[in-house]
A and B are shown apart, each in its own frame.
Chain A
Amino acid sequence: MTPATTAGILGDFYEPADAVTAAARVRAAGWTQFDFLTPFPIHGMDEAMGQKRSWIPWASAALAVGGILFAQGLQNYVMVWDWPLNFGGKPFFSWPAFIPITFEAMVFWSALGTAFIAIVAGKKDSVPQPPPMTATGATVDRFVLWIAATDPKWDAAEAARFVASLGADHVRLVDAEGGTHA
C-alpha cells in the first residue's frame, strides 16, 4: 500500500562507480527531481546527474571585490579625508601601506561569505529532500538514490520498479511525515 503522503523513494548502492552509472540512467530516463546521498563527494557524479559547475566561485569573487572596496573605502576615508595625519611629510594617500589590510579584508569577506553561501545553497539550490534526519545510511557507507515525489514523472509503483531495475538494494518509499525517523 502506498501512503497518501509519500515524499519519495530511496534505493541503496554500495560503490561509487555503481552510483555514477545509476545516476546517468536515472537522468536518461527523464527524472529530474532526484538526488544522490553519499558519504563523500564522487568524481563524475556532477556530469552523471547533469549538474553544471557550481556558481559559488562567482559569489566568492563578488564578495572579494566587496571586501576590497570596503577596505579601500575605510582606509582612504580615515587616512585621507577624516583624520589626515602627517608622518614625516609622507603623503596622506599612502596607498602601498593600505595593501595589507585590503588583502585581508578581501579574504575575510570572500571566505566567510563563501562558507555561508555554500551552506545555504546546498539547501536552496536543490530538489526536495527526504524528511530531516531520515536514517539513510548515506553518512556511513551507502550511496543512496533519492527520487522525490514532486517529480513530474512520479508514480510510486513505477518509481519502485525503476529504482529496482537499476540494481538498487533495499528500495523503500519514504513517508513525508517522517516514517523513517529513528
Chain B
Amino acid sequence: MTKSEMSPYATVMDDSQLTGSPIVLAGAGPYGGDLAIAEPLVTGGKRWAEVDRDICLHTEQFPTRKWWLAFSVALAFLSLLVLALVTLFYTGMGIAGVNQPVSWGSFIINFVFWIGIGHAGTLISAVLYLFRQQWRTGINRAAEAMTLFAVACAGIFPVIHLGRAWFAYWLVPYPNARGPLWVNFNSPLAWDIFAISTYGLVSLAFWYLGLLPDLATVRDRATHPWRRSLYNAMCFGWNGSHRAWRHYESAYMVLAGLATPLVFSVHTIVSFDFATSVMPGWHTTIFPPYFVIGAIFSGFAMVITLMTFMRGYFGLKNYVTLNHMEDMAKILMLTGMLVGFAYSTEFFMAWYSGSEWEGFVFKNRAFGPYWWAYAIMFTCNAIIPQLFWFKALRRNTWVLFVVSILVNVGMWFERYVIVVTSLHRDYLPSSWGMYALTFWDYAILFGSFGLFFTLFLLFVRFLPVVAISEVKGVMDPKVARAPQGDRPLVVPALQEVRS
C-alpha cells in the first residue's frame, strides 16, 4: 500500500493544496456518506524523522548570511539602546520628553506596548492549549519565545521611568536597613512588580518545560560529544520515558491552567496603573478588559510579523502553513473588532456618564491637537483588520504582513493616545501643555526593538523554533512513521537478538 492509500494527508504537499476548508472523502463516512476531515497541520507528507531534520538543521549549521545581516542590524539597534540609556542615566531625565503636565511619556507607552506584545505568546501556549487548538503546535514555541523577549524589553521601561534606576531594588519588599522601609502594597505600581516578574518567570518555566523533549531531540542528533553533553544537561537527561511523560503532561496542563488567568491578570494590573488614578480618560472600569484584548491583538500582530519571516527563511512552510496564518488572521480580526468596540464604548460612556471632564477628554482625544494619533490608532486597529472578512486576503501573506505591521503601529499609538491625551489637558487649563518625544525617546524606543530582535535571533540560532514533540503528536502516524526495519539513526546495539 502506498502512503496516499493509507492516509489522505500523504498527498497534501504544500500551501497550494490547502484550502482552509475540510477535506471531504466521498463515501468514507460511517454509514456510507461523505466524511469531512480537517486539513493536515503538517504538509509535505513528512515523516517524524524529517521533522527533526527540518527543525533542528538551522541550529546545527553555521548561520546563513541573512542571519548575520539581520543580527548585525539588531545589534546595531541594541547598541543604540545601550548608548541612549548610558546617556540618559549620566545626564538625567531632562533629555527625555517627559515633563509636567505629561509626566508619563514614552517609557510608559513602550512598557505597555511590549507587555502587550508578550500576551499573544501566552495566549497561544496556554489558552489555545486548554481549548485543544492543535494548530497552536506549529507556532507556540516561537510565540512563547517572543513573550519572553517582549517581557524583557518591557521590564527595562519602568526602571528607566523611575528616574533613579539605580534605586530600582527598593521596589522589592525585603527586610532592609532603610527602616525597614517597605513598599506600599496598596499601590498598583507595587502590584506591577509582582505581576511582571511572575509573568516573566512563569512564561520562562512554561517555555522551558515545553523545550525539554526537543532539547533531547537536538542532543540525540548531535555528533560532537560536548554538544551532546550540553544539550543533555539542558534537558535533564530526557529520554522520552512514558512514566516521565505522565507527570510532564500533567504539569504542562497545570501550567497552562495557571498561565491563562495569569495573562489576564497581568494586563489587568497594568491597566490598574491608569484606572485607579483620578484622571479623566483613565479612571474607567472598562480598562482591564480593554487592555487585555488590546494586548492579545497586538501580540498576534507581532506573531504574524515574525512567522511571515520565519516560515520563509527557515523553510517552515510545511509546519506553519497558510492555514495557520489564516487562523491567526481570524483572531486578529476578532480582537481588532473587540478593540474597536472598546473605543466606541469609551466614547459612549463619556457622554452617558454626564461627566463634564470625561466628555471633554474624549472630544479632545479625537478632535484635539492629538487627533492624528487618534486617527492612526482607530484606522490601524479597528478599520484595517476588517479586510480579513475576505478569505483571499486572510490567505495572502503579503496582506497579512502589511496589516500586522500596521496593527503594531496602531497599538503603539493606542498607548500614546491613552497616556498623552489624558495628561496634556487635565482639570486646570492653566496647566495644559503638549508632549513630544525627543531624540533620546526615539533612540530608546527603536533600541528596544534591537534588544528584542537580538534575543529572538539568538533563539532561532540555538533552539528548535517549532515544538517538535508537539508537532509529531498531531501528525498522522500512517504517514509519519518510519519504514519497517529502517534504522538509520539507531546506534549499534550491544547484542542483536532478532533480525
Contact = CB atoms under 8 A, between A and B. Distances in A.
Given A107-B202, A132-B237, A101 B232 contact: no
A140 B220 contact: yes
A37 B250 contact: no
A90 to B, nearest CB: 8
B180 interface: yes
B241 A180 contact: no
Interface stretch (B63-71, B186-194, B342-350): B186-194
Contacts, number: 266
Contact of B191 (A15, A101, A170): A101
Interface in A3-62: 3, 9-10, 12, 14-17, 35-42, 45-46, 49, 51, 53-54, 56-57, 60
A170 B242 contact: no
B485 A169 contact: yes
A110 B258 contact: yes
Given A54-B247, A164-B497, A182 B208 contact: no
- Chain A contact residues, majority secondary structure: mixed
Interface residues of A, number: 88
B205 A54 contact: no
A111 interface: yes
B185 A118 contact: no
A39 B242 CA distance: 9
A100 B194 contact: yes
B265 interface: yes
> Which of B217, B219, B245 has most chain A Cβ within 10 Å?
B245
B239 interface: yes
Contact of A140 (B217, B250, B485): B217
Given A101-B194, A118-B247, A139-B217, A110 B228 contact: no
B393 interface: no
A129 B245 CA distance: 14
7 contacts: A38-B240, A40-B473, A105-B194, A115-B255, A139-B217, A142-B490, A180-B493
Interface of B: 47-49, 52, 173, 179-186, 188, 190-191, 194-195, 197-198, 201-202, 205-206, 208-209, 212-213, 216-217, 219-220, 228, 232, 236-252, 254-255, 258-259, 261-262, 265, 269, 272, 469-470, 472-473, 477-478, 480-482, 484-485, 487, 489-499
